Amino acid sequence: MSEIYMPRLSDTMEEGVISSWAKNVGDKVASGDVLVEIETDKAVMEYEAYEDGYLVKQFVSAGDTVPIGAVIGFIGETPDAEAPEPGGAPAAPAAESAAAPAEEKPAGEKPAEAPAAEAPAAGAEGPARPRTSPLARRLAKEYGLDIDAIEGTGPKGRIVRADVEAARDRAASGAPAPAAAAPAAAAPAAQAGSDDLRGSEELKVSQMRKTIARRMVESKQQAPHFYLRRTIDAEPLKAFRAQINEQLADTGVKVSFNDLIVKAAATTLSAHPEVNRSWEDGRLLQHHRVNVGVAVAIDEGLVVPVLHDTDKATLSDISTRTRELAGKARDGKLKPQEMSGGTFSVSNLGMFGIDSFSAVINGPESAILAVGAMKPTPVVHDGEVAVRNTIALELSVDHRAVDGAVGAAFLKDLAEVLESPMRIIL
């Protein structure tokens, strides 16, 4: 008998949603078979079985949200093997989310008992400890806060990092803790009236959208952003791209302007390792590999596949790999390792005609490059006014890890590489 646990499928995942079960109760399972599809904060991913047997029980249903480590099912040696109720604290949230009201169960089926983790231990006094994430507990200890006094806003009242940091900020400012039930109960009614006036409807929020919202707020609140802007003469880059693509015509590979910018950024990062850093939990980390993330817009939101060792890759490799990862992102088939380990990111909105913009840092990275559209601009060239194609670049930097002069030197050299594009491949 083997328990099936909710796996961690990405570095930012805290919980997953059961998208669909690929196997039904009683089905034979072979090692490598897809058991279940799980919606994470970044994609819908397939979870495979690691042993042979039969799927004896599903403790959660499609649509259920389950924390990492919770038991979601059992595999037995025979299809009629008895599946024990999941035990231990990690399985409690899964069993609770799977438990249906008694009236919804088929006649004669005994309602599931409440998991042991939900009740106080024998002889224990007072209420059970609130659910917390390990990070929340560690931060509460660092900030000198009583974790039991913090109100959780996560799934089923779970105390998460944002709750601890909010409690820390209230303690620092002397503000009282938020009122609990009564004042909050009035909010939905007032909001409903406003929604009626606007003709609004509530949309289902995907795990990806929740994570995007959380991480963007965290990035802006925690990372002190500063911004550096530079406009480059893109005529040499345009000519260089045409020359490269002419040479690659027989291979079927076509290099984009974004491929050139990604490679140029990686080349410049190699020369400026002090930008290839991150600030994480009070630690300054120097990264020895240059892994550039490329922002990809999909229907559900924004994902950032990572090109590992970008500084060592050829332009044709970057072009091929970027298109492959973008396609997998749109199909929801990205693997965890294809979205992890980034040390710098590039976000390009030029294809939408955007002149320039300020990008939010993709934490825990320390910088992100925003790329605008190529457009003809009157400029002074060789002492005369001429119309030349230009591209606006903007570098968003985390001031905790990178100083202004360091970021400025990086952007200066990046602009020079792009204006002398042969340096991209030398």
User: ∠120-16-285 over CA atoms, to 5°?
Assistant: 95
Report d(CA 93, CA 152) in Å as an integer: 15
240 and 332 share a domain?
yes
pLDDT at 398: 95
From residue 235, how far is each of 55, 241, 382, 383, 417 by CA, in Å?
61, 10, 14, 17, 13
139 and 93 share a domain?
no
Cα first-last separation, the chain: 58
165 and 90 share a domain?
no
From residue 350, how far is each of 100, 224, 237, 266, 390 by CA, in Å?
50, 26, 15, 20, 11
- Which pTM was predicted? 0.61
pLDDT at 354: 95
Residue 191 within a domain: no
384 and 242 share a domain?
yes
- Domain range for 336 is 225-424
- Show the tokens assigned to 254: 């076509």
Q: Which residues contact 399 (CB under 8 A, 6 or more apart)?
A: 223, 224, 225, 226
The rounded Cα 94 to chain-centroid distance in angstroms is 23
Residue 203 within a domain: no
Beta bridge partners of 278: 285, 365
pLDDT at 171: 80
Which segments of the chain have a pLDDT < 70? 1, 10-12, 41-42, 86-135, 138, 154-158, 173-196, 207-208, 211-212
The CATH number of whichever domain residue 419 belongs to comes to 3.30.559.10
The CATH number of whichever domain residue 159 belongs to comes to 4.10.320.10
The 10s digit of each residue's pLDDT in 89-118 is 333 333 333 333 334 434 434 444 433 333
pLDDT at 389: 97
The CATH number of whichever domain residue 63 belongs to comes to 2.40.50.100
pLDDT at 281: 84
Of 225, 272, 308, 399, which residue is the catalytic one? 399
266 and 339 share a domain?
yes
Residue 35 within a domain: yes
Report d(CA 316, CA 334) in Å as an integer: 21
pLDDT at 154: 62
Q: Residue 57's closest CA among 70, 74, 44, 41?
A: 74
Specify whether 399 is catalytic: yes
Q: Residue 417's closest CA among 289, 274, 234?
A: 234
139 and 47 share a domain?
no
Residue 208 within a domain: no
pLDDT at 110: 41
* DSSP single-letter state for residue 177: P
Q: Which residues contact 256 (CB under 8 A, 6 or more apart)?
A: 241, 319, 322
Q: Which of 85, 100, 115 is the last residue of a domain?
A: 100
Residue 347 within a domain: yes
Beta bridge partners of 280: 283
Q: Residue 13's closest CA among 45, 36, 58?
A: 45
72 and 139 share a domain?
no
- Residue type at 26? G
Residue 298 within a domain: yes
Residue 409 within a domain: yes
- Residue type at 116? A
Report d(CA 239, CA 243) in Å as an integer: 6
- Secondary structure in 3-state letters for 218-253: HHHHHCCEEEEEEEEECHHHHHHHHHHHHHCHHHCC
366 and 269 share a domain?
yes
166 and 245 share a domain?
no
249 and 162 share a domain?
no
Cis (ω within 30 of 0) for the bond into 364?
Answer: yes
Report d(CA 2, CA 171) in Å as an integer: 46
pLDDT at 119: 37
Q: How many domains does the chain have?
A: 3
Within 10 A of 47 (CB to CB), how many other CB atoms are there? 19
Decide: helix, strand or coil at residue 362: coil
Relative to beta strand 71-76, strand 277-280 is unpaired
Q: Which residues contact 381 (CB under 8 A, 6 or more apart)?
A: 233, 388
Q: Residue 328's closest CA among 306, 346, 310?
A: 306
* Dihedral angle of Cα 402, 408, 409, 413, to the nearest 10 degrees: 120
* Dihedral angle of Cα 336, 337, 343, 346, to the nearest 10 degrees: -70
Q: Residue 67's closest CA among 1, 193, 152, 171?
A: 152
258 and 349 share a domain?
yes
Residue 206 within a domain: no
pLDDT at 250: 92
Report d(CA 392, CA 349) in Å as an integer: 11
Report d(CA 231, CA 356) in Å as an integer: 10
159 and 246 share a domain?
no
